[in-house]
Amino acid sequence: MAKNIETLLKQGRELLDKSIVYYRKQAVGTVAARDVGADALNYDQCFIRDFISSALVFLIEGKPEIVRNFLIQTLALQRHDKRMDCYEPGPGLMPASFKIESKSGGQYLTADFGDRAIGRVPPIDSSFWWIILLRAYTKATGDEELARRAEFQEGIQLILEMCLVSRFEMYPTLLVPDGSFTIDRRMGVYGHPLEIQALFYTALRAARELLIANEIGKDYIDGINKRLGPLIFHIREYYWLDLKRLNQIHRYKGEEFGEVAVNKFNIYPESIPYWLTEWMPDKGGYLAGNLGPGRMDFRFFSLGNLLSITSSLATEAQSQAIVDSIERRWDDLVGRMPMKICFPAVEGLEWEIITGCDPKNRPWSYHNGGSWPVLLWPLVAALQKTGRTEWGEKAIAIAAHNLAEDGWPEYYDGKNGRLVGKAARKYQTWSIAGFLLANALLENPHCLDLISFEEDTEAVGCGI
């Protein structure tokens, strides 16, 4: 098996190098996929979200210039327009992707802020991933000059202004629409999805490290600290699910008022899905997928839970319980190809209502319970941080069994991930980079510091 993995790593590096795109003779990113047998659609673009795994591989393998160029060029695309226009995304937003186009003998970068995307939803996560990558670049290279540039400080501040503004909400979490992050189609994730809250928290932690503590920077750092405390408390206290908490919800009373209310979000016990009462392990737990007025999404969303571990948004005990759940429900969440983007899939009438009868998100496919090889790296990172590296090795061995033979596909279908995704692109760059990165993290444990955080000790507390 070791020899097989070495062969895969060599092939993966060659494919990753071939995916690099150049702008005015400088490497600035990687295309989403190089499936020559399919229409390009938007897979010939470089997505900020998709590039993260490639960028971390480049940093670990000593190729920081590609990441530096990417950070500079994407910052130049950031929206600075201050106009009030309901058809324009606000200032501070990073594009979902960019494409290199040639015109009149020159090259130009064309950005997509959601105006070309399916559903026309702006990317909430791109701005967060950009800050997280800037911090990883700074830690990997020791180059603090880039982040301290005036334009980079302004870029960080614009993102923070977009996120820390006053709102019509009592929650410290971010309210976002369907389709605005990794699950970029309608999947019933509108509201306060866990993935965005984990990214938001991680980006705030990264921004606090990167901001210069001058007269202006101190105001932003203060704003970050004031938000982090309530955010940590809110997620740890109200999103957490285990058998004990499930029993509490089962006995909730509705229509409670005032400060003494136990059922603070008016969650009705009847909303507990039947599958969860059987699936919840005796030892273990996880953070719910979403929470809002009268609503708790009990599905397990992988990326949000894994990022909550690496960022220390979850407590140490919660982190251990999350990986306990992954281990005890390994066949459901990892199966034949790490790992499920969410569990379980929605089916029948529920699928019709939640997805709008989306044929791509049919049960156990794509975002509706599909298996995504790119999730191998955050899985390995979370297992590494919680001291479960042997399970990370097991996940890599599972991925190595089929990935190359199947052509490094974008995703897999089926309850156990045995089928190559019906509409999956082959030679998907983040599938390739995800495998390379997972291996690099196990071989270089210190590199986990590029993407992880220890328990926060600076934020203004709110019951934590």
176-186 pLDDT per residue, tens? 999 999 999 99
At 257-271, the pLDDT tens digits run 888 899 999 999 999
115 found inside a domain: yes
Q: Write out pLDDT tens, residues 338-371.
A: 999 999 999 999 999 999 999 999 999 999 999 9
Point out the least confidently predicted range of 10-19, 30-39, 41-50, 59-68: 30-39
Helix and strand numbers (H, E) in the chain are 17, 13
**Better-scored residue on pLDDT, 115 or 424:** 424
Q: Are 299 and 316 in contact (CB under 8 A)?
A: no
Query: Cis bond leading into 280, ω under 30°?
Result: no
Residue 371, domain member (yes or no): yes
d(CA 350, CA 117): 25
The helix (H) or strand (E) run that includes residue 391 is helix 389-402
- The fraction of the chain above a pLDDT of 70, given in percent, is 96
| pLDDT over 80 (residue 166) | no
Q: What is the mean pLDDT of residues 28-32?
A: 97
91 within a domain of the structure (yes/no): yes
Q: Is residue 431 part of a domain?
A: yes
With CA atoms as reference, report the closest residue to 383 among 450, 441, 444, 342.
441
Q: Which of 37-46, 130-139, 405-414 has the weakest average pLDDT? A: 37-46
Q: Is the pLDDT of residue 462 over 70?
A: no
Q: Centre a 10 Å sphere on the Cβ of residue 365 and count the other Cβ atoms it contains.
A: 23
pTM, 2 dp? 0.96
Q: What is the pLDDT of residues 110-161, one digit of tens each?
A: 999 988 878 788 899 999 999 999 999 999 999 999 999 999 999 999 999 9
Q: Is residue 456 part of a domain?
A: no
Q: What average pLDDT score do residues 38-60 get? A: 93
Q: Under a CB-based contact definition with an 8 Å cutoff, are residues 74 and 48 in contact? A: yes
Rounded (10°) CA dihedral 243, 247, 249, 255:
-170
The pLDDT, as a whole number, for residue 174 is 95
φ, ψ for residue 183, nearest 5 deg: -85, 90
Residue 74 sits in a domain whose CATH number is 1.50.10.10
CA 189 – CA 238 distance, rounded (Å): 17
C-alpha distances (whole Å) from 116 to each of 41, 42, 198 are 11, 9, 26
Residue 88 has pLDDT above 80, yes or no: no
How does the average pLDDT of the chain come out, rounded? Answer: 94
Stretch 34-60: mean pLDDT, rounded? Answer: 92
User: What is the residue range of 27's domain?
Assistant: 2-450
**Position 458 in a domain:** no
Distance CA 459, CA 233 (A): 11
Into how many domains does the chain fold?
A: 1
Q: What is the pLDDT of residue 460?
A: 56
Least confident of 134-143, 168-177, 226-235, 308-317: 168-177
Identify the pLDDT of residue 23.
96
Residues with Cβ within 8 Å of residue 250, at least 6 apart in sequence: 269, 272
